[in-house]
Amino acid sequence: MPARRLPAGGPVLAALTDLLGLAGPAWLLLRAGDQPRPLAAAAVAGLLWAGLRGTRGRYTDRLRTAPGGAACAVGAVGDWLVLIGLLAVLHTAAGSPVDPATAVVAVAPGLLIAAAVAGLRRWPRSARRAGRVRRVLLVGEAPGVGRAAGLLNSRTDHDYMLVAAVPVGAARLELEGVQVAGHLASCPADDDVSTVLGGVYAHEADLVLVAPGPQLTGDRLRHLGWGLHDRGVALSVLSEVSGVAAERVRPVTAAGLTLLHIAPPLRGGPQAMVKNVLDRTGALFGLLALAPLLLAVALSVRLSSRGPVFHRQVRQGQHNRPFTMWKFRTMVADAEQLKAQLAVVNEVDGPLFKMRSDPRVTPVGRMLRRTSIDELPQLVNVLLGHMSLVGPRPPLPEEASRYDEREHRRLTVKPGLTGLWQVSGRSDLTWQETVSLDLWYVDNWSVAADMGLLARTVRAVTDGRGAY
């Protein structure tokens, strides 16, 4: 997608903000650390930072979307890691007397400022788009139209509202709640454009979404696009590729063909190392900061019902490796023995077991579950490397043993304390919705996306929806 430039002067202002946002705090920290020539060192670091960000295209406003329409990250963490590498090379080549550890700490605020400014840049546009709904006219053969309509109508975390459909061919289209605005013949016809435009005007659609097929492709699709664009109607073409974030897709043309290059999911490299460091650091600081709360909760669990304070349970982690997961005990001591008797009233499909009013949950446990405080001991699992702060939930061994190939892909990454399931409905989700969200995360995670999910988790935990 072509980049939309910032308003006049915008790139210069953004670069200046990055330069001063890194150089200013760096100068203060280097000076406080009694480092030699702090002003010169901070200025060089600031210029390198702004130059690096500029060459990597960070001062253009690219329209990208992620699940829920949220704006995706600009890659500030990756830029900062490259900056550290450049400074290390420069430090060695020039024989700088500045202490390397102090230098890394000094440029760290620049990363936070860049990320915050980028978020503020995107917020007004996101706020404007939040109330905008695209009215969609769906065009295509019955199977493709049915699949697209089913997916669009089954989810609410997008800005597309299906208002009508124009099927191609003689096959009957039966979709509940979807009006048919006309039919296209099986073969190209002169009235293709007028038929689709009639549906657009009749249903006040502002976007035509085409599901290509054997009867609607090549020259026929191109002529339809010409007719729609000449009359100011937007056109989108549905791809068979799904579950891929926009950042991983790069369109190119070759020999008149439109190709979609799809980058592989992150499995290693700098971002994986940063994620590991942030996980361990975040878990350590979380345990220290929450120590008084954890002690109070432990006392309330111990005094309110018979049984241990903590509930230890074997779960399956990354690559299906078992580990012992810690939680505050929220159920009666013999809960596992009672589970078999309650299996017939399981309220969740798939291999999970969930009950909205589980009789095994204690009064204190119900409060802990609603606020998700019972999950906090898993910070120990994060610190030990069994889990991540963000990722799919770890399944029980008997649940994992029933996974099919698709569901087993959830175990490609470390399980998490929170994730897309946590901010998207938690226990109110069906099993297949949970799997879809987890698979999206497995293939499209990034450090910046993790930071956004952690922030959204605070809101999800606060309102307590789906927690039982």
Give the 3-state secondary structure of 427-453: HHCCHHHHHHHHHHHHHHCCHHHHHHH
Cβ-contact 379, 283 below 8 angstroms: yes
For the cut 70, the answer to whether the pLDDT of residue 328 exceeds it is yes
Residue keyed to tokens 């699940």: 67
For the cut 70, the answer to whether the pLDDT of residue 127 exceeds it is no
Write the DSSP string, 1-18: -PPEEPSTTHHHHHHHHH
Beta strands in 195-330, from DSSP E residues, in sequence order: 207-211, 234-237, 249-254, 257-262, 310-316, 322-328
Burial class (CB in 10 A: 0-12, 13-18, 19+), 314: exposed
pLDDT: which is higher, 115 or 399: 399
Cβ-contact 330, 346 below 8 angstroms: no
Cβ-contact 2, 29 below 8 angstroms: no
Residue type, 240: E
The torsion of the CA quartet 214, 218, 220, 222, rounded to 10 degrees, works out to 140
According to DSSP H, which parts of 137-191 are helical?
A: 142-154
pLDDT on residue 202: 94
Residue keyed to tokens 């023995």: 337
What CATH number does the domain located at 134-240 have?
Answer: 3.40.50.20
> 242: closest CA among 15, 439, 33?
439
pLDDT: which is higher, 287 or 127: 287
pLDDT single digits (tens) 197-229: 999 999 999 999 999 888 888 889 999 999 999
> 74: closest CA among 468, 455, 447?
447
pLDDT: which is higher, 122 or 82: 82
Q: Which phi and psi angles does 297 have, rounded to 5°?
A: -65, -40
pLDDT on residue 7: 44
The torsion of the CA quartet 293, 294, 300, 301, rounded to 10 degrees, works out to 150
CA 435-64-74 angle, 5° bins? 100
- The pLDDT confidence band at residue 406, using thresholds 50, 70 and 90, is very high
Pairing relationship of beta strands 134-141 and 160-168 according to DSSP bridges: parallel
pLDDT on residue 448: 81
What are the structure tokens assigned to 15, written together? 């670069």
Query: Of the spans 166-170, 300-304, 313-317, 456-460, which averages the highest pLDDT?
Result: 313-317
Residue keyed to tokens 């439109």: 258
CA dist 88 to 104, 403, 450, Å?
10, 46, 27
Q: Give the integer Cα–Cα distance in Å for 415 and 434.
A: 13
> 276: closest CA among 104, 445, 100?
445
pLDDT on residue 64: 39
Question: Is this prediction's pTM over 0.75?
Answer: no
User: Is residue 406 classed as helix, strand or coil in its secondary structure?
Assistant: helix
Give CB contacts under 8 A, 24+ apart, made by 227-232.
227/192, 227/193, 227/196, 227/197, 228/193, 228/196, 228/197, 228/200, 231/197
For the cut 50, the answer to whether the pLDDT of residue 6 exceeds it is no
Lowest mean pLDDT among 209-223, 240-254, 385-399, 417-431: 417-431
Residue extent(s) of CATH 3.40.50.20 domains in the chain: 134-240
> 414: closest CA among 451, 383, 370?
383
